[in-house]
Amino acid sequence: MKKVIEGSHAVSEAARLARVQVIAAYPITPQTHIVEALSQYCADGTLNARFINVESEHSAMAAVIGAASGGARAFTASSSHGLAYMHELLHWASAARLPIVMAEVNRALGPGWNIWTDQTDSLAQRDTGWIQLYCEDGQEALDTTLQAFRLAEAVNLPVMVVLDAFYLSHTFEPVDVPDQEMVDRFLPPPAPRIRMDTADPCAVNQLVTPAAYMEMRYNTQLAMEEAQRRLVQIEKEFETIFNRTHGLVEAVHCEDAEIIMLTTGTVTGTCRQVLADLRSQGEKVGLFKLKLFRPLPVDLICRHLKSTPKIAVIDRNISFGAGGIFAQEIRAALCNQEPHPKVFGYVAGLGGRDITPDTLVEIYNHTKNHSAPAEETIWIGLNQETVETWSN
Amino acid sequence: MKDPLIDKQLPLFIPHSSISTAVNKTGSWRFFHPKYEEKTAPCSAACPVGQDVPRIEMLASRGQLKDAWQTILNENPFPAICGRVCFHPCESVCNRAGMDDPIAIHHLERFLGDAAIAGEFTADIDRRPSTGKKVAIAGAGPAGLAAAYFLTRLGYGCDVFEAAAEPGGLLRWGIPAYRLPRDILAQEIQRIENAGVRIHCESSVTEALLESLKKEYDGLFIGSGYGRSRMMNIEGEEFASDGLEFLNRLGVGQKISYFGTTAIVGGGNAAIDVARSLVRLGAAPLIVYRRRIQDMPAFEPEVAMAAREGVRIMELATPIRIRETAGDSSSATPGYELTLHKMKVHKKESSGRARVIPDGEATETINIQNIFVAIGADAEALWQCPDSEETNSLVLSHCRFFDQKIPLIYGGDLTSPIKSVTDAIASGKQAAMALDTYFEHGAEAIEKRLAGCRVGAGPVLSMDVYLEKDRKNRTAHTVSYDEIVTDYFQPAARSVPSTLDAGQGMRSFSEIVSTLDNAAAKDEAARCFNCGICAACDYCRLYCPEMAVTVEKAQRTINMDFCKGCGVCATECPRNAMALEEEIK
C-alpha cells in the first residue's frame, strides 16, 4: 500500500517487515528516526524483537554481533561519528561472517560540527568488509533494506544500506509499503549457519596464525565477489514478487553519450532532471548511477563506461590528499581498458551544501569544455571570496 | 519464481573449535583472589538491637513478609512497637541518603509487625532445648520482656513479676496511644506469653520477695525502670502534678479534662507526651525548658509534631516558685502563678548542648491553669539500682552483672546509656546472653563471648551471631556509600505513609501515622541497597570472564582452577558483599 512516509521510516518499515529479532542502537541525528520507530514497534508489540539500549555505537555493534552470533536476524542504524565509533567492530562483524544489516545515514564528520549530508563517513568504512548499497529515494531504501537481509544471509557478510541525510532520511515521499505476506514470501525466516548455542558449546574467532589467516581473508573476498552475483538473483526474485527493481547500477542514455555523469545517492534524482533538460537541448549526455559500491561491480562499470570519452564523477566526499573517493575507484576500475575514458573528478555538496540542477549543469559544461581534466579534483561551488582571503 | 542458487551455501572459513578451553587453567595467572565476604550495614550497626536490616528489606522487597518479620524477631521481639516508637538511628546513617533519601526503615518495620498481626503469623524461631534452669525477672517493661523472650529461646524458664495490673511498663503507662495503640502493645506481649513466658501482674517485687526469689531461681534480672519522678525542689511544688503519673492515668483509660494554659516543665520525651496529650484533652500546653529548644533531649520529630499541634515552648526558663491565684478571670476555677528565672547560655558541652546559668536576676511570672513536672525520673527503691560500691561486678554496655549467690543482672533504663525502648530491649538481650554464658562457661567468659557477637564495631549485639547462624560470618567493616556501586540503583522517592493532619490528630488519641500499604512497602524495601550482603543479584557470575562462579542451591562458589583474579566480580558487586585479597605465593 502506498504511504507518504519519510526515508527513515521506509527503512524502519522494511526492518519491521523483515521480522528482525534483535535491534541495538544508539541515537544520532539524522539516523534517530529509524530506531525510534522500531523501538516504538517493539514497545507496542507490533514487532516481536528485543530492542537493546546501549551506551554507545561501539556497544550497539557489539550487541548485534552477539545477537547474530546466536543466529538472530539483527539490525542497527547509525551515522557519522557513531559509525566511526563502530569502526573496530565493523571489521569484526565481517570477519566473523555475521549477516548483520545496518542503515547508515550519511552525515558529515566534525569538526566543524555538522549534521548534514556527506558521504565521507560511510566511505571511510570502505575496507571493513561490509557490502555497501547507496539509495536514491524512499522506495529504494525500503526495497534495498529487504534485499539486504536476503543478501547478508546468502553470503554471510554484513550489509550497509546507505541513505543521504535529510534529502532522503527526512523527506516524505510516497512509498509502497508491501504486505507482510509478500515480504514473507521473499524473505524466509533466518536459517543461520553461525549459531552459538549453550547446549553445544564452542569457541569461535579465536587466534588464527599466519598459516590460516590468508585463506580466511581469501574466503571473505570470494564471498564479496559472490555477493554481486547473488544480488542480481535476489533482485530478479524481488521483481517477480513486487514487480519492481532498482539494479546494482543504472545506466541511462549511456550508449550514445559523449559525457556520462556518474552519481550516487539522492544526487541521482536531481541528475535525472538535468539529463532530460540537456538531452532536450541536444546534448549527448548519459547518467550512470552507482548503487553497489562494495563489492565494486567493475564489470558493469567497464561495460557501460569504457566506450564513452568523458566521465564526470560527482563526489559528495573527500579523501584528503587524493580527491573524491568514487572518482578514484572509477579510474581504477577503468585503467586497464584500452582505450579508457577521461575521468573528471568533481567534489561538490560537502557538509550538506545543495547540489542543484545548476551545479550539475556547471559540472557538465566544465567537462564538455575541457578535453582532459586540468586537475585530479575539481571543486564545485567553492565560495571564491572566502578562499581568496586566505592568500592575503 | 524462486532461484535455488540464491541460497546455495558458500564455503565458510572461520575459526571455530569445540574443544573445551577448560584445559587452560587460568587460575595459575592469579595473584589476587576474590571471596564472598559479607559485611555490616551501617543501619544494623546503628540499631541498638542490631537488626539485620539489609536482609529484612531484601526479603520484604521479594514479598517474603513472614521471613522478613522473623528476621526481625531473631533480634527483637517487638517489631510493631519499635516500628512506631523507636527513634530509628538506623535511618540517619542509611547509605541510601547519599543517593536520595534514607530507607524508611521504621515504617517498614512497623509494616512487617502489623502484617504479622493482621496475618496471624506464627513465628518458627529456633529454640534450644530446656536447660532446666529458671530465671526471675522484675519488671514487665521492654527490658524485662525482652530478657524473658531471649532467655526462653535459650532454654530457660522465665517468670516476670510486674507491679502494675497489666504488663508493658513504660510502653503502657509512658507512651500515649496516639503513638502506640494499646491493641498493638497487647498483641506483641501476647506473643511473648505464647512462647512460654509467665507474666505475674500485680506482683510487686519487694525486697522481701527478692530474697525468696534468690532462693527459688537460678538467676535474676532486674529491669524495673524509673518509676519515681524527679522533683524541682521549689516553693509551691505541691501544686504541680507528676507528668508520668498523668500519662499513667491516661494509659489506664481515665477520662480527664483540662482547659487553659498548662505549663509542662521539662524537655524530654515525657514532657512532649504530656503536652501533646493535654492538647487532646482541651488545654493550651506551654513547655518550659531551661536550655534551648535544640538542646531538648526529646526526639526531634516528636518536638516538631508537638509544635504542629500548637504546643508552645518557652526556652531558657527555669521555675523558681508556684503560688495559687484566683485564676483565669473568665473562669471560676483558681489557677497558679508560675515564676521563672530567665537563663542564658554559659558555655557549650562537647556534644554541642548548651550549659545554662541564670541570666542575672531576671524573672518572669506567668499565669497558668495547671502545671506538670516531667524533668526525669529515678528508680523507685534502692534495691532497684545496681550497687555502685560493689566491686564484684561486670559493667556491660547496657547491663550490670553481679556474680552473687545466684547471678544478678540489672538492665533497662537503670543501666542503658540511652533511655529508649530499643536500648531497653538491647539490655534484655545482652542480659540473656550474659546469663546463658555464665551458666555454660562462668562469669569470666561473659565479656569475650559478648564481644564476639558484635554487629559492626560498636556495642550492638546479635542473637543470631550468638547462636552461630550465618550472620556470624559477616565482618565488622561497616559499608560506606562509596563502597556501593550506585550504577545498579535508580533514584526513587522514599515512601511516606499518610498521617492525620494536626487538626484531626488533636481531637483524639487515635494513631497519627498510618502503616505503609503493601505496594508502598514493597517499593520502599526495594530501594534498599542491602549494604554488605549477597542479594543473589548474580552479577559476580554474569561478569566472570572465566565462568568460574557457579551457583548451587543458592550458594555461590568460585572455581579457583579458573579464577584468574581479575577482580571484576568483587568490583561489580553492587553492595560490597565480596572482597579481593592479595595472594602470596
In Å, how far is B117's CA from the nearest CA of chain A? 42
pLDDT higher than 60, residue B102: yes
B248 and B374, same domain (yes or no): yes
B373 and B386, same domain (yes or no): no
Cis peptide before B285 (omega within 30 of 0): no
In Å, how far is B564's CA from the nearest CA of chain A? 19
Q: What average pLDDT does this structure show over A109-135?
A: 98
Q: What pTM was computed for the model?
A: 0.72
In a domain, B83, yes or no: no
Greater pLDDT, B354 or B564: B564
pLDDT higher than 90, residue B454: yes
Whether residue B6 and residue A203 make contact (CB cut-off 8 A), yes or no, is no
B15 → chain A, closest CA residue: A205
Pick from A125-134, B5-14, B116-125, B418-427: least confident: B5-14
Q: What average pLDDT does this structure show over B385-394?
A: 74
In a domain, B255, yes or no: yes
Greater pLDDT, B238 or A223: A223
Q: Which of A96, A215, A237 sits opposite B6 (nearest CB)?
A: A237
B204 and B232, same domain (yes or no): no
B21 → chain A, closest CA residue: A203
pLDDT higher than 80, residue B501: no
Q: At which of B401, B417, B451 does a domain end?
A: B451
Alpha helices in B35-132 (DSSP H): 42-46, 53-61, 65-73, 79-85, 89-92, 105-118
Q: At which of B378, B393, B422 does a domain end?
A: B378
Whether residue A201 and residue B11 make contact (CB cut-off 8 A), yes or no, is no
In Å, how far is A70's CA from the nearest CA of chain B? 14
Q: Which of A193, A200, A208 sits opposite B12 (nearest CB)?
A: A193
* Pick among B1, B8, B9, B12 to test the A interface (most A CBs inside 10 A): B12
B8 → chain A, closest CA residue: A154
Three-class secondary structure of residue B326 per DSSP: coil
Whether residue A150 and residue B6 make contact (CB cut-off 8 A), yes or no, is yes
Element (DSSP H or E) covering residue B359: strand B354-368
Residues in B lying within 8 Å of A, measured between beta carbons: 1-3, 5-7, 9-21
Is there a contact between B275 and B311 (Cβ–Cβ < 8 Å)?
A: yes
B210 and B255, same domain (yes or no): no
In a domain, B425, yes or no: yes
pLDDT of residue B9: 87
Whether residue A204 and residue B21 make contact (CB cut-off 8 A), yes or no, is no
Cα A221 to Cα A192, A210, A228: the distances in Å are 20, 17, 12
Report the distance separating Cα B322 and Cα B557, nearest Å.
Answer: 73
Whether residue A216 and residue B15 make contact (CB cut-off 8 A), yes or no, is yes
In a domain, B420, yes or no: yes
Q: Which of A204, A234, A236 sits opposite B14 (nearest CB)?
A: A204
Pick from A141-155, A345-359, B251-265, B431-445: least confident: B251-265
Whether residue A204 and residue B19 make contact (CB cut-off 8 A), yes or no, is no
Query: Model confidence over B218-258: pLDDT tens digits?
Result: 999 999 888 778 888 888 888 888 988 898 888 777 778 88
B368 and B233, same domain (yes or no): yes
Reported confidence tier of residue A392, pLDDT bands at 50, 70, 90: low
A154 neighbourhood in chain B, CB within 8 Å? 6-7, 10
B251 and B355, same domain (yes or no): yes
Q: At which of B451, B468, B498 does a domain end?
A: B451
Is there a contact between A343 and A375 (Cβ–Cβ < 8 Å)?
A: no
In a domain, B295, yes or no: yes
A201 neighbourhood in chain B, CB within 8 Å? 18, 20
B17 neighbourhood in chain A, CB within 8 Å? 202-204, 206
Q: What percent of chain B has pLDDT over 70?
A: 96
In a domain, B512, yes or no: no
In a domain, B169, yes or no: yes
Reported confidence tier of residue B554, pLDDT bands at 50, 70, 90: confident
B262 and B344, same domain (yes or no): yes
Does the beta carbon of A348 lie under 8 angstroms from any beta carbon of chain B?
no
In a domain, B515, yes or no: no
Q: What average pLDDT does this structure show over B515-520?
A: 94
Reported confidence tier of residue B329, pLDDT bands at 50, 70, 90: low
B208 and B155, same domain (yes or no): yes
B447 and B545, same domain (yes or no): no
B270 and B342, same domain (yes or no): yes
Parent domain of B187: 134-226+380-451
The C-alpha cell 581534466 sits at A373
Q: Say which CATH number the domain at B30 has.
A: 3.30.70.20
B204 and B235, same domain (yes or no): no
- In total, the C-beta contacts within 8 angstroms joining chain A to chain B are 62
B209 and B234, same domain (yes or no): no
Does the beta carbon of A44 lie under 8 angstroms from any beta carbon of chain B?
no
Q: Which of B2, B10, B13 sits opposite A216 (nearest CB)?
A: B13
pLDDT higher than 60, residue B134: yes
Query: DSSP secondary-structure letter at A190?
Result: P
Cα B356 to Cα A165, B290, B291, B292, B372: the distances in Å are 77, 7, 6, 9, 22
In Å, how far is A151's CA from the nearest CA of chain B? 9
Contacts of B553 (CB under 8 A, 6+ apart): none
When divided into structural domains, chain B yields a total of 3
Does the beta carbon of A97 lie under 8 angstroms from any beta carbon of chain B?
yes
Whether residue B16 and residue A204 make contact (CB cut-off 8 A), yes or no, is yes
Q: Say which CATH number the domain at B337 has.
A: 3.50.50.60
ipTM of the complex: 0.90
Does the beta carbon of A154 lie under 8 angstroms from any beta carbon of chain B?
yes
pLDDT higher than 70, residue B3: no
pLDDT of residue B388: 67
List the domains of chain A with CATH numbers. 2-242 (3.40.50.970), 249-390 (3.40.50.920)
Query: Model confidence over A294-330: pLDDT tens digits?
Result: 999 999 999 999 999 999 999 999 999 999 999 999 9
Is there a contact between B60 and B108 (Cβ–Cβ < 8 Å)?
A: yes
pLDDT of residue B255: 79
Burial class (CB in 10 A: 0-12, 13-18, 19+), B15: middle
Q: What is the mean pLDDT of chain A?
A: 97
